[in-house]
């Protein structure tokens, strides 16, 4: 296994960093405060090719392999301070575009993928419900087949991108008694009768990534919009979670690298007791720990890229990478604030936002506890 970037991947990553620094730099403090999503930046990312990364050229994408997608996301995480925007793009890619690519019919792929790649369409994912989060397949949203349509009724909770989305990959059950084998995936256009955005949800971090509840009330979905086989929606969902866990934190690797650069620079420049604070071992050690976390987390993510590029499953690896990286990200975000002292705690320093953004990573795409359960189960425990 060779996890070093190929010249082409390196070129992509360098271009992504440059693009992010020049085109995605805007007044983050104010937009974070207002919780404002930028459609303009979304479009710039699409024009750069981010939303089309894993999608083959024939559907309007770039046909990049997984390792390249990870390299680009890492580059964006380093160069772009709008973690909410990157989070929204990740949700769009791994829980909407990729399931359509992998499980969609030819007609569905031709209809939806070009718009999802070129920025015209924004995708969302509706799985969680008020009463089923970790136990997602206990969902209550019901799908009843009537002729050539399914009628959906239920509420989806914590839907990233909901307010700005055009297309929701959502899940419903044919009958709760059927358990995991009653779940169906659907591609739901926002304009289908019976779809409504019920409540905007404000959050601790990732505030520029919109979130809301979605209600389906006698929502009519053409049978042609079933995603995957009837009753096999759990397969679609598990696959999308494996992809999301694999790739969503690649941008956090970039942010962790940015935090280290920032801390090294500060520790060299800031003087107390007559010398740079980096000369105090306890400050230097803190930055060393941040570095060790980054260097140990990075191969876990690139290993998944390698596995997926070689057609191998990465269920346990994705769970391990997600668990380790998210917990490392939170610890390093706290460390960065400590290195900066009181200044680190202040909004202007832009480190407190990283911490708020980081905390969500231990929750979305399955909490740390659920990742540990997945790993334990893969170990035969």
Ligand X SMILES: Cc1cc2nc3c(=O)[nH]c(=O)nc-3n(C[C@H](O)[C@H](O)[C@H](O)COP(=O)(O)OP(=O)(O)OC[C@H]3O[C@@H](n4cnc5c(N)ncnc54)[C@H](O)[C@@H]3O)c2cc1C
Task: Using CB under 6 A, pick the residue from 51, 67, 90, 128 that binds ligand X.
Answer: 128
User: Is residue 64 within 8 Å of 72, Cβ to Cβ?
Assistant: yes
DSSP assignment of 228-257, as one string?
Answer: SSTT-HHHHHHHHHHHHHHHTTHHHHHHHH
Task: Using CB under 6 A, pick the residue from 16, 85, 101, 127 that binds ligand X.
Answer: 127
Helix (H) or strand (E) holding 110, with range, is helix 106-118
Task: Give the pairing type, strands 167-173 and 123-126.
Answer: parallel
Determine the Cα–Cα distance for residues 349 and 340; give it in Å rounded to an integer: 9
Residue span binding ligand X (CB under 6 A) among the ranges 64-72, 76-84, 104-112, 358-366: 358-366
- Min CB(231)–other proteins separation in Å: 3
Long-range contacts of 315-319 (CB under 8 A, 24+ apart): 315/242, 315/374, 315/378, 316/374, 316/375, 316/378, 316/379, 317/246, 318/242, 318/243, 318/245, 318/246, 319/245, 319/366, 319/371, 319/372, 319/374, 319/375, 319/378
User: Is residue 357 within 8 Å of 206, Cβ to Cβ?
Assistant: yes
Residue 377 binding other proteins, by CB under 8 A = yes
Nearer to ligand X, 68 or 95 (CB): 95
Binding mask 286-325 for other proteins (x = CB under 8 A): -----------------------------x----------
Please choose, from the candidates 260, 246, 269, the residue with its C-alpha nearest in 3D space to the C-alpha of residue 290.
260
Site for other proteins in 175-194 (CB under 8 A): 175, 177-182, 184
- Min CB(309)–other proteins separation in Å: 22
The answer to whether residue 244 is catalytic is: yes
Site for other proteins in 135-154 (CB under 8 A): 137
Distance of CA 97 to the CA centre of its chain: 12
Residue 208 binding ligand X, by CB under 6 A = no
Residue 371 binding ligand X, by CB under 6 A = no
Residue 126 binding ligand X, by CB under 6 A = yes
Please choose, from the candidates 144, 143, 193, the residue with its C-alpha nearest in 3D space to the C-alpha of residue 170.
143
Residue 159 binding ligand X, by CB under 6 A = yes
Residue 35 binding ligand X, by CB under 6 A = no
- Min CB(75)–other proteins separation in Å: 32
Q: Classify the C-alpha dihedral 83-240-153-139 as positive or negative.
A: negative
DSSP state at residue 94:
I
Residue 234 binds which one of ligand X, other proteins, none, with CB within 5 to 8 A depending on kind?
Answer: other proteins
**Active-site choice (244, 327, 348, 350):** 244
The closest residue (CB) to ligand X is 133
- Min CB(158)–ligand X separation in Å: 4
64: exposed, middle or buried (Cβ count in 10 Å: 0-12, 13-18, 19+) = buried
Residue span binding ligand X (CB under 6 A) among the ranges 49-57, 112-120, 158-166, 189-197: 158-166
Residue 172 binds which one of other proteins, ligand X, none, with CB within 5 to 8 A depending on kind?
Answer: none
How many CB atoms lie under 10 A from the CB of residue 34? Answer: 11
Task: Using CB under 8 A, pick the residue from 191, 311, 342, 380 that binds other proteins.
Answer: 380
Nearer to other proteins, 73 or 321 (CB): 321
User: What are the beta bridge partners of residue 144?
Assistant: 151
Determine the Cα–Cα distance for residues 144 and 197; give it in Å rounded to an integer: 21
- Please give the angle made by the CA atoms of 302, 94 and 365, to the nearest 5 degrees: 85
Residues that bind ligand X (CB under 6 A): 91, 125-128, 133-134, 158-160, 206, 360, 363-364, 366-367, 369-370, 373
Residues that bind other proteins (CB under 8 A): 137, 174-175, 177-182, 184, 229-232, 234-235, 238, 315, 374, 377, 380
**Active site positions, annotated:** 244
């Amino acid at each position: 296994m060779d996890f070093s970037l190929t010249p082409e991947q390196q070129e992509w990553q360098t271009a992504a960093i440059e693009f992010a620094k020049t085109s995605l730099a805007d007044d983050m403090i104010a937009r974070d405060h207002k919780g404002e999503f930028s459609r303009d930046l979304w479009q710039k990312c699409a024009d750069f090719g981010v939303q089309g990364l894993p999608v083959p050229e024939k559907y309007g994408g770039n046909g990049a392999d997984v390792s390249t997608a990870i390299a680009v996301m890492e580059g964006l995480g380093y160069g772009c301070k709008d973690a909410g925007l990157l989070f929204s793009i990740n949700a769009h890619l791994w829980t909407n575009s990729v399931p359509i690519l992998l499980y969609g019919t030819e007609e569905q792929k031709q209809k939806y993928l070009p718009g999802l790649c070129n920025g015209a369409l924004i995708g969302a994912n509706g799985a969680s419900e008020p009463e089923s989060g970790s136990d997602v397949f206990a969902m209550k949203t019901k799908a009843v087949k009537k002729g050539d349509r399914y009628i959906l009724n239920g509420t989806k909770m914590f839907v990233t991108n909901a307010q700005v989305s055009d297309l929701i990959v959502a899940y419903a059950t044919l009958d709760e008694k059927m358990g995991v084998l009653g779940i169906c995936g659907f591609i739901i256009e926002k304009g289908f009768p019976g779809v409504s955005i019920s409540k905007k949800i404000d959050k601790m971090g990732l505030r520029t990534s919109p979130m809301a509840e979605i209600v389906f009330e006698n929502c009519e979905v053409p049978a042609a919009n079933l995603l995957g086989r009837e009753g096999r929606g759990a397969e679609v969902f598990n696959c999308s979670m494996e992809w999301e866990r694999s790739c969503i934190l690649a941008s956090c690797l970039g942010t962790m690298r940015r935090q280290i650069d920032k801390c090294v620079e500060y520790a060299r420049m800031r003087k107390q007791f007559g010398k740079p604070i980096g000369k105090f071992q306890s400050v230097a050690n803190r930055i060393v720990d941040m570095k060790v976390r980054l260097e140990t987390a990075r191969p876990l993510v690139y290993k998944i890229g390698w596995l997926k590029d070689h057609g191998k499953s990465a269920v346990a690896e994705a769970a391990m990478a997600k668990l380790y990286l998210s917990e490392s990200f939170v610890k390093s975000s706290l460390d960065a604030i400590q290195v900066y002292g009181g200044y680190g705690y202040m909004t202007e320093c832009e480190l407190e936002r990283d911490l708020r953004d980081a905390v969500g990573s231990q929750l979305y795409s399955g909490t740390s506890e659920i990742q540990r359960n997945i790993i334990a189960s893969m170990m035969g425990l």
